[in-house]
Amino acid sequence: MYDLTSRDIKYVTGVGPQRADMLNKELGISTVHDLLYYFPYKYVDRSRFYTINEVDASMPYIQLKGEIIGFEAVGEGRARRLIAHFSDGTGVIDLVWFQGIKYLLNRYKVHQEYMVFGKPTVFNGRVNIAHPDIDAITEAVPAGLGLQPFYNTTEKMKRSMLNSHALEKVMASALKLLQEPLPETLSPQILQEHHLMPLTEAIANIHFPQNVELLKRAQYRLKFEELFYVQLNILRYASDRMHKYKGFVFGKVGSAFNTFYNSYLPFELTCAQKRVIREIRKDLGSGHQMNRLLQGDVGSGKTLVALMCMLIAIDNGYQSCMMAPTEILANQHYETLKSLLCDMDVCVELLTGSIKGKRRERILQGLQNGEVHILVGTHAVIEDTVEFHKLGLAIIDEQHRFGVAQRARLWSKSVSPPHVLVMTATPIPRTLAMTLYGDLDVSVIDELPPGRKPVATIHQYENRRAPLYDFIRKQVDSGRQAYIVFPLIQESEKIDLQNLEDGFERIKTAFTDYSICKVHGKMKAAEKDEQMQLFVAGKAQILVATTVIEVGVNVPNASVMIIENAERFGLSQLHQLRGRVGRGADQSYCVLVTGFKLSEETRKRIEIMVRTNDGFEIAEADLKLRGPGDLEGTQQSGIAFDLKIADLAHDGQLLQYVREVAQEVIKKDPQGELPENNILWKQLKTLRKSNVNWSAIS
Ligand code: ADP
Ligand code: MG
């Protein structure tokens, strides 16, 4: 059988070394296999030709057949363009190019028959087609005139004439290379049972479908396969783990837990907190290693749940660690835990990059000899040469930034992997959760502590600053605190920082009688902490910040969140930011400040924010608006394999379906040894090998 994976694309007709290099650099395509799996992003019906006398500028992409009756180069400098007068006997239309004039004149001849494809527009009062695709009739796509594929290409590629159309031709020659069928990647049973198109047929039809029906079947087959392996991978991995590792048994609940519960717990747990703690306790005592995702909207009280689980670990003679994505958060967790534990005999230590020297050594030693019960830190904790005496439980806060591979690294910290609890405040749409954390059991805190009032969210245009400042003043005068957040992204970092500084000055001028502090990601850790502490301690009334405060910061007295340039934030980010207020008993406010000019999508985002406080609704909307690729952190946390064709926003049902198919396979074949599944396990292995994230695990 063919080994297409290894065949270099430069041998495909129409590619050659130069284009091969470009395809490799621009699209990461280096083999025929890569090429065939580079799918079109849209299709256009080319099943009929129009006549020139029918054409008007309101038409979408159309195709014509005829000949060039003459060329004309007009204009100077940037306006210089080549016009080809194109006729089909019913009329004449102008084809216009602003680039590649020399090439075009060389390539295309008058009085020869061509197919022209493009979008009619009006230019200088006449209908014409700018930068059309143009082909000799003989070069027509081999599949004939079905649906024409369109491929994404980069600017660089377009500049060297490797546009979608050129890629289409390359694709056609690659398909011609297939003398034999491609090795099938799904088992005959699965193909049959689910009425799937064979792979080779699907690949041919995804590029050159004769009709919509065939295209749909090809898409279904390829999406099925893609999602199936994502699920098979994650479920296989969970099942192996179940068989391979025994969990530490935390059999008892002892004095640490009980003392805290009876004498130190500052409030009644919510029903949801109680239920979740019960679920976790059951896992911890089961003899299986726990891998659980704890989802709870911002402010739902996850930290407390985490603490109580760590107390159970202590009662059973084990250490715990709790990791946060930033130093600020690690610090805050440390402070929170210390103050909750009060004078209890529990040793909590903080370990971050900025803790050095003697102090660090002392902590490391305490971890090794078991004196330290709870270690709070940043993710650096697992990278470092940190050794535990008996690590039994690892808690990861804000999982969105913490990938599967990193999770796996935790295991090397202990003879046997510790129980793992992943906490996330960002509600994850179900489809995404199944894909990213499909190996985890899920607990949900779906209830906020009593007395919380939903945050009132208001949209405000940026020219109405005076009433906005009045409003802040009123709140602060009544003893509250306010956040004012500015966007900061890497691409426009300089301008963004300047905006923040300007804003800071403006606010200082407007509020001379208040103390104002400032935090952003570019500051030194010590300075950041100092400023943050001013706000936490209530010494500063207004905190001007970038999104460093996005996750986890807890200042219950803060009741106002002003988000400047709100149009530049994604939905989940806005929701996270809003979650910083509404943590106390007072009515809180979130003001989204934007300019007048807003895109439709931005308007939708703002509307959703104003309408609802429900994190799950927001997460679903976010997925629909932006698509999963853009969801914060997905890249790092790594969907196991890149999704080339399936789309988590729209293929939720299929995902659920294939998950069940994958579950069935694993149930029947837990050891992966049934011959009928050979194809599946082999393919899974190939996929895992091609993915760095996963190689870290097996
Ligand atoms: P998150 O889930 O966002 O991490 P936190 O753990 O930071 O939430 O809790 C938010 C706030 O709610 C904290 O001030 C915490 O002390 C408080 N809190 C947690 N549980 C309860 C409860 N059962 N009753 C009242 N307040 C609570
Ligand atoms: Mg938290």
pLDDT digits (tens, 9 = 90+) for 173-198: 999 888 788 899 999 999 999 999 99
658 lies in some domain:
no
Residue 344 and residue 328 share a domain? yes
Q: Whose CA is nearest to atom 10 of ligand 1?
A: 299
3-class SS of residue 509 = helix
pLDDT of residue 697: 35
pLDDT exceeds cutoff 90 at 520: no
Instruction: Indicate whether 320 and 466 sit together in one domain.
Output: no
Q: Which of 422, 445, 468 is the last residue of a domain?
A: 445
DSSP 402-456: --HHHHHHHGGGSSSPPEEEEEESS---HHHHHHHSTTSEEEEE--PPTTPPPPE
The answer to which of 503-512, 549-558, 572-581, 589-598 has the lowest mean pLDDT is 549-558
Query: How far away, in angstroms, is 400 Cα from ligand 1 center?
Result: 20
Q: How far is the CA of 554 from the centre of ligand 1 (A)?
A: 9
**Comparing C-alpha atoms, which of 95, 101, 103 is closest to residue 134?**
95
Ion ligand 2: residues, Cβ under 5 Å: 552
Size of the chain, expressed as the number of residues it contains? 698
User: Domain range holding 398?
Assistant: 255-445
Task: Give the nearest ligand 1 atom to 579 CA.
Answer: 3
HSE-CB of 152 using CA atoms within 13 angstroms: 9
Which residue has a Cα nearest atom 1 of ligand 1? 299
What does the pLDDT read at residue 634? 37
Provide the pairing of β-strand 441-445 with 147-150: unpaired
Q: In terms of domains, do 159 and 263 share one?
A: no
Residue bearing the CA closest to ligand 1, atom 16: 301
C-alpha dihedral (546, 550, 555, 558), degrees to nearest 10: 60
CA of 295, nearest ligand number: 1
Pick from 217-221, 280-284, 395-399, 483-487: least confident: 395-399
271-289 pLDDT, tens digit per residue, is 999 999 999 999 999 988 8
Of all residues in the chain, the percent with pLDDT exceeding 90 is 49
- Which tens digits make up the pLDDT trace of 321-359? 999 877 878 888 999 999 999 999 999 999 988 888 999
Question: Could you report the per-residue pLDDT of 195-246, keeping only the tens digit for each?
Answer: 999 999 999 999 998 887 899 899 999 999 999 998 998 888 888 877 777 8
In a shared domain, residues 463 and 568:
yes
Which of 26-35, 290-299, 399-408, 461-470 bottoms out in mean pLDDT, i.e. has the lowest? 399-408
> Of 497, 508, 486, whose CA–CA distance to 573 is shortest?
486
**Which residue has the CA at smallest separation from atom 27 of ligand 1?**
449
Cα 556 to averaged position of ligand 2 atoms, centre (Å) = 13
Q: What is the CATH number of the domain that holds 526?
A: 3.40.50.300
Query: Which residue ranges have their beta carbon within 6 Å of ligand 1?
Result: 267, 269-270, 273, 296, 298-304, 425, 449, 554, 556, 583
Output 431 or 30, whichever has higher pLDDT: 30
The pLDDT assigned to 678 comes to 94
Q: How many domains does the chain have?
A: 4
What pLDDT does residue 633 have? 37
Mean pLDDT, the chain, integer:
86
Q: Which comes out higher in pLDDT, residue 443 or 379?
A: 443
Lowest average pLDDT, out of 448-452, 470-474, 636-640, goes to: 636-640
61 three-state secondary structure: coil
Here the CATH number for the domain that contains residue 28 is 1.10.150
CA dihedral 66, 14, 201, 179 (to 10 degrees): 120
- Is residue 104 one of the residues assigned to a domain? yes
Give the H/E segment covering residue 328: helix 327-341
Residue of the nearest CA to atom 4 in ligand 1? 302
